Amino acid sequence: MRVLLVDDEEELVATLAERLEMRGITACWVTNHRAALEAVDRERFDIALLDVRLPEMNGLDLKRLIEAKQPTMKFIFLTGHGSEEDFNACSAESGREYYLIKPVQIDVLTAKLHEICAEQGDRQ
């Protein structure tokens, strides 16, 4: 499984990537939308974990740009707010099950990544 992590907090995203790698998940991390789009141009990912509130471009808009490049990719939105506004916006995009609030427990995240990947496999 290959996962793209996008969050403007470098320490958060780098540590999360290292912990996912320890669990056998290949994780690439970036801290802004430009680097995310470059990564998607360079390699294929199964799932992207996107911060809802990125600098310069929000996670929902970034999702649409990534989707145009890799239509089969799945998305999990990550937010620090847990506000109704964020929740509704992300629910409309991905379904409520793909919306996680920081801080995320690694076991919950890992289980969700495997679940999404399995669903993808079933469909293909």
Q: At 14, list the tokens.
A: 């780098």
d(CA 80, CA 65): 22
Euclidean distance between CA atoms 115 and 111, whole angstroms: 6
Name the site residues for another protein (rule: CB under 8 A).
8-9, 11-12, 15-16, 18-19, 22, 53-57, 80-81, 83, 102-104, 106
Pick 81 or 96: Cβ nearer another protein: 81
Minimal distance in Å, beta carbon 110 to another protein?
A: 11
- Of 72 and 88, nearer to another protein (C-beta) is 88
Min CB(100)–another protein separation in Å: 11
Q: How many CA atoms lie within 13 A of 80 on its CB side?
A: 6
Cβ proximity to another protein: between 56 and 97 the closer is 56
Shortest distance in whole angstroms from residue 53 CB to another protein: 7
3-class DSSP state of 26: strand
Q: Could you tell me whether strands 26-30 and 74-79 are parallel, antiparallel, or unpaired per DSSP bridges?
A: unpaired
Closest to another protein by CB, 92 vs 106, is 106
Instruction: Identify the three-state secondary structure at position 107.
Output: helix
